[in-house]
Structure 1
Amino acid sequence: MAVTAAYDEIADWYEREFLGAQQAPAGDGNPLGLGRLLDDLLGEGEGVCLEVGCGTGVHAARVRELGWTPVGVDLSSRMLHYARGRLAVARADAERLPLRDGSVPAAIAVMAHSDMPGYPAVLSEVVRVLRPGGVFVHIGIHPCYCGSFADRRDPQAVVISPGYLDSHWTKKSWNDHGLRVKVGAAHWPLPELLNTFLDAGLTLERFAESGSSPTPIVLAVKARKRA
């Protein structure tokens, strides 16, 4: 798959340069507030927490601090090269998770859904492997304010152009040096994205936004598998 090859090609850049640029000197260590969102929506627990699209495994430490045992899956072998020192991993397609039905109490996807054109199928797989009542936390790029239609060069005045209403995959971006121009991104309008959770059999519980001002960069959702 093209996305897999793209991440294999940029894994070194992602680990050494991109992630380094994402670090903040204070707070939860991430300017987008991803750690805080995991604290608030995943919360403390025990047992396996599956990270779908774990990449280089940078969120494993936070998940472990909350009491969970992080386990990750990703398609990119080069990204997993870095992840192996941070959590147990398996190379796998997120649309065909290598776990038994109802085998994990929690799962997360952090800044990963835009890398998955088949995200509806991914959510169906997440529901399959979750225990009844198990929790799923989605943290991803905000569909309303980020994408090829959103010009964020001035963070105080984000300009929205036509394109939000169309589901699509693109490498177009408001800058020429970031992640999306390298690997592309999938986009779903907000109603379509939320309906995907419901169609997969998840009950939506809580929502949060984070990162920047006046418009957020991240949308987070806490959902639960129906008993």
Structure 2
Amino acid sequence: MAAYDEIADWYEEEFLRAQPVNPGTGALRELLGRGSGVCLEVGCGTGVHAEAVRELGWTPVGVDLSSGMLRHARGRLPIARADAERLPVRDNSVGAVIAMLVHTDMPAYFSVLREVARVLRPGGVFVHVGVHPCFCGGFADRSDPAAVVVRAGYLDGHWTKESWTDQGIRDKLGATHWPLPQLLNAFLDAGLAPDRFAESGTPLPIVLAVRARA
């Protein structure tokens, strides 16, 4: 994605360093759990989640469309430049797939879920960790750390660059929003069966995580 190529250095050198704790790592560890074999990360970006995956015993492999982001990921995990809607992976071939804070960057995320279902072995695990659809979006003002203001707009399901901060990604690239039922129904439509959920963040959750099985 050319837009991510343009911000890759900023993302690696400024955006990530400004976050003392990655908001999705705890949920990833909780829902992925210990295992072995390949764990494929779709939309791996700069590869910052590879270490957590390795600590759980998995072998991380990443795919992303942005060559700029992959330039930073190269030293962290094996990578391939590929479209998440057409993964260069055989059917029923991997034991785990993760998607970390990327679903709002992928307008065709529901097609990505179908690809995830295709490449997972029967019984394989998929962990989705994404910004919380109910409390994060163009409709949510998080400028006051003690009180999130949620305005009308949650039900719209739209792409927007509206943001409460100019230090994030949405104001630079935009983000796609789906209300919670649409997002969860897309898992079912893809043939993925959710079996565990988690939230994290304060004062209202920043992250919603879903574990599903093929």
Q: With structure 2 as the length reference, what TM-score do the two structures score?
A: 0.98
Distance in 1 separating the partners of 2:16 and 2:116: 26
Distance in 1 separating the partners of 2:27 and 2:206: 13
Residue 81 of structure 2 is aligned to residue 91 of structure 1? yes
Partner of residue 220, structure 1: 209
Deviations 1:45-75, CA, capped at 9 Å, x for gaps: 0000000000000000110110000000000
Matches within 5 A, 1:54-69: 54-69=44-59
Partner of residue 106, structure 2: 116
Matches within 5 A, 1:25-174: 30=22, 32=23, 34-174=24-164
Q: With structure 1 as the length reference, what TM-score do the two structures score?
A: 0.92
Distance in 1 separating the partners of 2:48 and 2:178: 25
Aligned residue among 5, 9, 26 for 1:8: 5
SS in 2 for 1:21: coil
Moved more, 76-85 or 35-44: 35-44
Distance in 2 separating the partners of 1:15 and 1:174: 21
Aligned residue among 168, 192, 198 for 1:202: 192
Unaligned 5+ runs, structure 2: none
Residue 132 of structure 2 is aligned to residue 178 of structure 1? no
Q: Number of paired residues?
A: 214
Distance in 1 separating the partners of 2:167 and 2:28: 28
Distance in 1 separating the partners of 2:123 and 2:102: 23
Amino acid at match of 1:212: T
Task: Give the drift of 1:154.
Answer: 1.1
Moved over 6 A (4+): none
Distance in 2 separating the partners of 1:91 and 1:23: 28
- Considering only aligned residues, what root-mean-square deviation do their CA atoms show, in Å? 0.8
- Identity among equivalent positions (%) equals 71
Aligned residue among 17, 22, 28 for 2:19: 22
Distance in 2 separating the partners of 1:176 and 1:164: 21
Task: Give the drift of 1:5.
Answer: 1.4
Distance in 1 separating the partners of 2:74 and 2:140: 35
Unaligned 5+ runs, structure 1: 25-29
Distance in 2 separating the partners of 1:218 and 1:80: 24
